[in-house]
Amino acid sequence: MELTFHKYQGTGNDFVMIDDRTEAVDLRNLDLVRKLCDRKFGIGADGLIVIRNHADFDFEMIYFNADGSQSMCGNGARCAVAFSSYLGMINGKTRFLAIDGPHEAVLTGDQVELLMGDVKEISPKANDFFVNTGSPHHIRFVDKAKEYPVFEEGKAIRNDIDYAPGGTNVNFVESVSPDEIFVRTYERGVEDETLSCGTGVTAAALVYGNKQQKSHIKINTPGGKLSVKFNSNPDGTFSKIWLIGPAEQVFSGKINL
């Protein structure tokens, strides 16, 4: 079977995208997911995104991490919006469905503004924090993030018994200025550091913004620049959380399965 794919990246978080409106892809075939994402034996990506029609939304995005596990993916969702526009399914604005529920997004040039789900709380975790922004995130503030042992420390926290059985993503955050941070992320399901993580920088921005009393945070990542703006509510929840950044089609191709 020959499969057409498109490769996208959002601030260095990269994805194999498949237009599966014919529903030809067997979503139970996790060996297929792992093969497509394999950087030596397949196309190579942090994750796979399958786009399907949905009666109540412009499209549905189904996200798989490279290991076949599923979660919400912020950068992937931004790339899915750009891909659905490329396919002619949307025109600038969209309302689509992901694993964590409905999302709105606006595409302006190569910038995608993605409305994330509301966040109920920021939980303290020893000297760190935990936030669920559609996927789980441990947040640790460090002095020199560029020199921090992200793989070793991230893997240890990701596998901490406190997070069993599902685990968590882990973000190491350095303050740059009152409204700017630098973030490196160890991603569950990729089981390595990725160049950026959309739900992760969103979680980091909420924690930092809450501390700094700021509602618009700029985020630098090894893969590029993102920003997050949000409302802090009197009950301690967060809403109108927008994740903003670029999404780019890198190449397309066909693969024989």
Ligand X SMILES: N[C@H](CCC[C@H](N)C(=O)O)C(=O)O
Catalytic residues: 73, 197
The yes or no reply on residue 197 touching ligand X (CB under 6 A) is: yes
The yes or no reply on residue 117 touching ligand X (CB under 6 A) is: no
Output the smallest distance, CB 189 to ligand X, in A: 4
The yes or no reply on residue 90 touching ligand X (CB under 6 A) is: no
The yes or no reply on residue 85 touching ligand X (CB under 6 A) is: no
Task: Pick the closer one to ligand X by CB: 156 or 213.
Answer: 156
- List the one residue from 9, 13, 84, 85 that touches ligand X (CB under 6 A): 13
Q: Find out whether 167 is annotated in a ligand binding site.
A: no
HSE value, Cβ hemisphere, 13 Å, CA-based, for 241 = 27
The yes or no reply on residue 11 touching ligand X (CB under 6 A) is: no
Please tell me the distance from the alpha carbon of residue 13 to that of residue 103, in angstroms, as a whole number. Answer: 20
The yes or no reply on residue 135 touching ligand X (CB under 6 A) is: yes
Roughly how many angstroms between the first and final C-alpha of the chain, as a whole number?
A: 5
- List the one residue from 85, 94, 132, 169 that touches ligand X (CB under 6 A): 169
Q: Which two tokens stand for residue 177?
A: 């200025």
Task: Pick the closer one to ligand X by CB: 25 or 204.
Answer: 204
Q: Which stretch binds ligand X (CB under 6 A): 122-130, 142-150, 193-201, 203-211?
A: 193-201
Please tell me the distance from the alpha carbon of residue 225 to that of residue 38, in angstroms, as a whole number. Answer: 26
Beta strands in 36-160 (DSSP E): 47-54, 57-65, 93-98, 101-108, 111-116, 123-125, 128-132, 136-141
Main-chain dihedrals φ then ψ at residue 68, nearest 5 degrees: 95, -10
Task: Pick the closer one to ligand X by CB: 42 or 189.
Answer: 189
Determine the residue type at 45.
A
DSSP β-bridge partners for residue 157? none
Output the smallest distance, CB 137 to ligand X, in A: 8
Q: Find out whether 188 is annotated in a ligand binding site.
A: yes
Helix or strand or coil: residue 90?
Answer: coil
Q: Could you tell me which of 52, 105, 50, 57 has the C-alpha nearest to residue 82?
A: 105
Helix or strand or coil: residue 216?
Answer: strand
Task: Pick the closer one to ligand X by CB: 166 or 178.
Answer: 166
The site for ligand X (CB under 6 A) is made up of 13, 46, 65, 69, 71, 73-76, 135, 169, 187-190, 197-199
Annotated binding site for substrate: 13, 65, 74-75, 169, 187-188, 198-199
